[in-house]
Amino acid sequence: MFRKLLIANRGEIAVRIVRACAEMDIRSVAVYTEPDRFSLHVKRADEAHFIGEDPLAGYLDARRLVDLARETGCDAIHPGYGFLSENSEFARICETAGIAFVGPTSDVIARMGDKTEARAAMKAAGVPVTPGSAGNLADVEEALSVAEKIGYPVMLKATSGGGGRGIRRCDDAHQLGQAWGRVISEATKAFGSAAVFLERCVVDPLHIEVQILADNHDNVIHLFERDCSIQRRNQKLIEIAPSPQLTPEQRSYVGEMAVRAARAVGYRNAGTVEFLVKGNEIYFMEMNTRVQVEHTISEAITGVDIVREQIRIAWGHKLSFRQEDIRHHGYAIQFRINAEDPKNDFLPSFGRITRYYAPGGPGVRTDTAIYTGYTIPPYFDSMCLKLIVWGLTWEEVINRGSRALNDMRLQGIKTTAPYYQEILKHPDFRNAHFDTGFVAAHPELTQYSVKRLPEQTALAIAAAIAAHAGL
């Protein structure tokens, strides 16, 4: 197995990888820029190395990270998610340097990162894709022509896009004409490419993604699906595994299609194949060539340690499981606790955490890099905590999620936690009747009132938390 692994990332995913390395007897090497000097991943790794004053530049400097890995004697690099995780050039530099990249090959990352090429590969493999342009669009006139043929509404998307950026819904020709320049500009700034394509907009579908694992020995399996339909402006908020809305036949079908998609492109390591589901219509959307933020809930229902499997695959081992060994048990929900104020249009709420107490009890897990006294910097994503709950039934996991959210104490900043409590109370959510339009259809859920504890009780809890933190 690897002796030493550099983590080319920060925050909770870096802490997650440090933990996997510790269990596998692999020395972990963290990197950090100035705002992360006191971050938890820096404290928990076996080694930590400073990569610059600029908040972002060091995390995005592929050659410097590979050089640092060689200097520190690392034989592998784990990119986590975000930053350089889906950068084919980063993977190629690792390959050239003889350092294992914990992920797919650079060629596969490049192919799947180009969404028009990914769509073509899926069509060739018999995986259904939404009707759309055959390739990248030359100009707005071609976009208008394609939209007229496939019918409105349409989605104008950056070919190299991801994370909900570089995408606009257009309900008519006028909106498409207005969106053209904006998407081109956003795509160029965010992804360094002005290439865009068009596809039919499936209105308020289910957003279903399938977790896959593939090794270098022709073994490909799936770990069932996750329902990511609770999202705002294409950003996921709550994820569920398995989906409480799919039929057994649909579950089997998307699993088979995900494995077929992975085989079609020679995929290896962990990845996710995403689908849009509307009634009996199921369409491929994209493939994510990295570990996902929400991998935790697939782990919860299957018992498979996905990060551990990633590292084993990168070393050359066969998968630890066959498809027939994988079963899903119960339901799991992940809440992305973001440093945002839902009552103020989800305005970011960065700052110092004055008190943090993690919830616990049966079926509760927290993945985070925060602690009491930590200051959340304004330079990165607003997610500060992932709360994961598991229950044997759908009702049980909802009730456990509500209890865990109520148990958690995170003071000093505004978070999305109370907003999620309102979602859990809604009868449509409790009855598993929701889609990607749920958040937009229920703006009233942001108008919650925060219950305040009596002052004496609050002081007692604060004293207990402070005493615990000092242990």
E strand or H helix that includes residue 141: helix 140-150
Structure tokens at 113: 């990162």
How far is it, in rounded angstroms, from Cα 53 to Cα 32? 9
Strands 27-32 and 4-7: parallel
Is residue 237 within 8 Å of residue 228, measured between CB atoms?
A: no
Structure tokens at 111: 């192919």
DSSP 318: P
DSSP 374: P
Q: First vs last Cα of the chain: how many Å apart? A: 35
The residue type at 298? S
Helices (H) and strands (E) in the chain, counts: 16, 22
Active-site residue (options: 232, 290, 312, 365): 290
Please report, for residues 211, 255, 357, 415, 458, the alpha-carbon distance to residue 373 in angstroms, rounded to integers and kept in the order given.
36, 44, 12, 16, 18
E strands within 350-470? 351-352, 355-357, 364-368, 375-376, 383-391, 409-411
Query: Among candidates 65, 81, 82, which has minimal Cα distance to 29?
Result: 65
Query: Among candidates 62, 75, 78, which has minimal Cα distance to 30?
Result: 78
How far is it, in rounded angstroms, from Cα 223 to Cα 216? 18
Please report, for residues 210, 222, 244, 421, the alpha-carbon distance to residue 254 in angstroms, rounded to integers and kept in the order given.
7, 10, 14, 30
The answer to whether 268 is a known catalytic residue is: no
Structure tokens at 22: 């510790």
How far is it, in rounded angstroms, from Cα 168 to Cα 158? 9
Please report, for residues 315, 336, 343, 440, the alpha-carbon distance to residue 449 in angstroms, rounded to integers and kept in the order given.
51, 20, 10, 20
**Residue 145 DSSP SS3:** helix
Residues 6+ apart with CB under 8 A from 190: 158, 161, 165, 166
Q: Give the residue numbers annotated as catalytic, written as ranges.
A: 290
